[in-house]
Chains A and B, each alone.
Chain A
Amino acid sequence: KNQVEQSPQSLIILEGKNCTLQCNYTVSPFSNLRWYKQDTGRGPVSLTIMTFSENTKSNGRYTATLDADTKQSSLHITASQLSDSASYICVVSDRGSTLGRLYFGRGTQLTVWP
Chain B
Amino acid sequence: EADIYQTPRYLVIGTGKKITLECSQTMGHDKMYWYQQDPGMELHLIHYSYGVNSTEKGDLSSESTVSRIRTEHFPLTLESARPSHTSQYLCASSEGQRGALEKLFFGSGTQLSVL
Contacts and interface: CB of A to CB of B under 8 A. Distances in A.
Interface in B64-115: 90-92, 96, 98-99, 101-104, 106-109
Contacts of A4: 42
Contacts of A98: 98-99
User: By CB atoms of chain A within 10 A, which of B2, B42, B91, B108 has the most?
Assistant: B42
Contacts of A107: 40, 42
Contacts of A106: 40-42
B106 A45 contact: yes
A41 B42 contact: no
B103 A34 contact: yes
Interface in A50-101: 51, 89, 93, 98-100
Contact of A44 (B40, B102, B104): B104
A30 interface: no
A49 interface: yes
Chain A contact residues (Cβ within 8 angstroms of B): what range? Answer: 20 to 34
Contacts, number: 55
Contacts of A99: 50, 96, 98, 102
A41 to B, nearest CB: 7
Nearest to A51: B101
Contacts of A46: 103-104
A36 B2 CA distance: 14
Contacts of A100: 102
Interface of B: 2, 4, 40-45, 50, 90-92, 96, 98-99, 101-104, 106-109
Nearest to A99: B98
Interface of A: 4, 9, 31-32, 34, 36, 41-46, 49, 51, 89, 93, 98-100, 102, 104-107, 109
A106 B42 CA distance: 4
Nearest to A10: B40
A104 B98 CA distance: 20
Contacts of A104: 42-44
Contacts of A36: 104
Contacts of B98: 98-99
A45 B108 CA distance: 10
